[in-house]
Structure 1
Amino acid sequence: MDLFRCLLFVPGTDRKKIQKAYTLNADAVIIDMEDAVAFSEKDSARQVISEVIGSPDLPTTYVRVNGVQTRYILDDLQAVVQPGLSGIMLAKAESAEEVRRADWLIGLLEEKRGIARGTLELIPFIESVRGIENSGDIAASCPRVKRLAFGGNDYTADTWTTYTEDGSELFYARARLIAASRLADIEPPLDTVCPFIKNIEALREDARRARKMGFQGKLVIHPAQIEPVKEIFSPTPEEVAAAEKIVAAFEKAEAEGTGVIQVDGKMVEYPIVNRARQILTTAEKIKFN
């Protein structure tokens, strides 16, 4: 699984901000040509993004393109499907058919540009009730889809509510995305941007809720959000130590023919050990990242 604890959005019209984003130590950068770009600036954003992603040794970069139902999608993809790009984030994805249309267009452009078909990842950005209800089909729609992403701000607008600091209005949508991802056997989803830019403690609590539910990381919109989010989605030293203890004790017991043991008063069996191994794998990736 990729190490995607924190992905930073940056507007596609601002070359300086894009270059700055690459120095801020997020796990990936998402250059935005959808909501962060005014309708009158779409062409300008395509030009800037095309030049940026055409640079050699491009860091891990995704581009959020406008939705399949908009008139911008073809021009967006023609501008950004290039060698070196990690993938496309598809805004306002609401059905498997929309994702497959984007997959088809990307495949044609890959072939035209000498890229092996299927190279670019496609992340459906789910932002509406329709998208949430169809998330199972979306998650299983095509091999390009390795993970889903959640857009909580649009979702709360769609449900006539407001993104609050306690996050209760997002529980159902988050749970659906976790279940849909698991059923499709893809990676855990990416959690929504937190709009409380100046309230870092609210951000931390929001990230803790998402991690506890099973998200692999979180989208952010400001440099100040990067390190707190990376910290929350990284195993603590205590978690790593506990995981090492569980794995060592279980492997010893397993070699002796036992499949269920106790460690520090808690039952340990294969699901617990598998989770402990996931924690150790993540910790190892962080060490060498």
Structure 2
Amino acid sequence: MTATTYLYVPGDMPQRFGKALRSGTDAVVLDLEDAVVAARKDEARTSVAEWVARCDPDGIELWVRVNPGDVQARDIRAVAGPNLTGIWLPKVESVRELEVADRILTECGADDARLSALVETATGLMAAPDIARSPRLRFLQIGEVDLAADLGIEVDDSAEQLLFARSRVVTASAAAGIEPPVAAVSVNFTDLPAFEADTRRLRRLGFAGRACIHPKQLQSVRAVFTPTAEEIGRAEEVLSRLASATSGVGVDAHGHLIDEAVARSARRVLARAR
């Protein structure tokens, strides 16, 4: 099953690691970057590496967001191991950064570990189609706060200022044949109806899953990305009617045309349900 909820945990708070694993999330993201001040980076790296090596994920994905720059290789080497699902690379601007990470993981014997690239600059955004075809890449993401700062834009509640960036990474992902991008975090974990509505807009744009900063957000994200019984029934009906059609097109219960493009969307709904 593809994960839809990704819960961030600061890498210098090992007392929270186990709680995150039992929170009901599909994936835990141990953060060595923004959540950890410079003076505690080494301590966080050690704590995360030790925990990842000895924990029992029990089916939960374990990702680590590493630091950019000179310490990135050290971060990756420290956490590479059999329990690691993959690495989140921040501020990616070129394919070369993923190639370097791929080589390090190979040297460490982490053959199954995957990568996710966070697009957080204008340079990275324009390079997204190439980045999407990088080795080991499972999905793209946007670091929306950093990207907005780099672009010099002011984002309001509608976030319409980010529409181009969001659509670009969705398109780049589809063109490269990788998983759809995971939506960026929201600092809102108190007004859950608003958070859920925002997440639903991101799903309609083509995102699949969302990073979370608080366990309270998990249920809303799962509700958005889990098809309802009505959606499943409608998808099954579309496929059934098209299969029984005497030509390459059919008609649904509302008299609307059904073709292979409609069927692809229906199959996607059923895949999410599974």
**Same fold judged by TM-score > 0.5?**
yes
TM bin, normalised by shorter chain, reads: over 0.9
Q: What code does the residue aligned with 2:250 have?
A: I
For residues 274-285 of structure 1, what are the structure 2 equivalents within 5 Å?
A: 274-284=264-274
Per-residue Cα deviation, 1:31-88 (whole angstroms, up to 9, x for no partner): 0000001111111111110111112532310000012xx1211220121011111011
CA displacement at 1:15 relative to structure 2: 1.1
Name the CA distance, whole Å, in 2 between partners of 1:57 and 1:109.
20
For residues 128-277 of structure 1, what are the structure 2 equivalents within 5 Å?
A: 128-142=121-135, 144-253=136-245, 257-263=246-252, 264-277=254-267
Q: What code does the residue aligned with 1:61 have?
A: L
The percentage of aligned residue pairs carrying the same residue is: 34
For residues 81-92 of structure 1, what are the structure 2 equivalents within 5 Å?
A: 81-92=80-91
Runs of 4+ in 1 over 4 A off after TM superposition: none
Name the CA distance, whole Å, in 2 between partners of 1:172 and 1:14.
36
Name the CA distance, whole Å, in 2 between partners of 1:130 and 1:199.
34
Q: How many residues were matched structurally?
A: 271
Name the CA distance, whole Å, in 1 between partners of 2:85 and 2:43.
22
Contact 1:135–1:176 (Cα < 8 Å) also in 2: yes
Q: What code does the residue aligned with 2:48 have?
A: I
Q: What code does the residue aligned with 1:37 have?
A: V
Name the CA distance, whole Å, in 1 between partners of 2:255 and 2:54.
55
- Note the aligned Cα RMSD (angstroms): 1.3
What SS does structure 2 have at the residue aligned with 1:7?
Answer: strand
What SS does structure 2 have at the residue aligned with 1:191?
Answer: coil
Contact 2:225–2:272 (Cα < 8 Å) also in 1: no
TM-score by length of structure 1 reads 0.90
Q: What code does the residue aligned with 1:27 have?
A: D
For residues 18-33 of structure 1, what are the structure 2 equivalents within 5 Å?
A: 18-33=17-32
**Match for residue 124 of structure 1?**
117
Contact 1:167–1:206 (Cα < 8 Å) also in 2: no
Name structure 1 gaps, 5 residues minimum: 285-289
Name structure 2 gaps, 5 residues minimum: none
For residues 5-84 of structure 1, what are the structure 2 equivalents within 5 Å?
A: 5-58=4-57, 59-67=60-68, 70-84=69-83
Name the CA distance, whole Å, in 2 between partners of 1:88 and 1:268.
40
What SS does structure 1 have at the residue aligned with 2:188?
Answer: coil
Name the CA distance, whole Å, in 2 between partners of 1:23 and 1:64.
20
Contact 1:33–1:63 (Cα < 8 Å) also in 2: yes
CA displacement at 1:281 relative to structure 2: 1.9
CA displacement at 1:248 relative to structure 2: 1.3
CA displacement at 1:161 relative to structure 2: 2.8
Name the CA distance, whole Å, in 1 between partners of 2:231 and 2:152.
39
Name the CA distance, whole Å, in 2 between partners of 1:275 and 1:186.
16
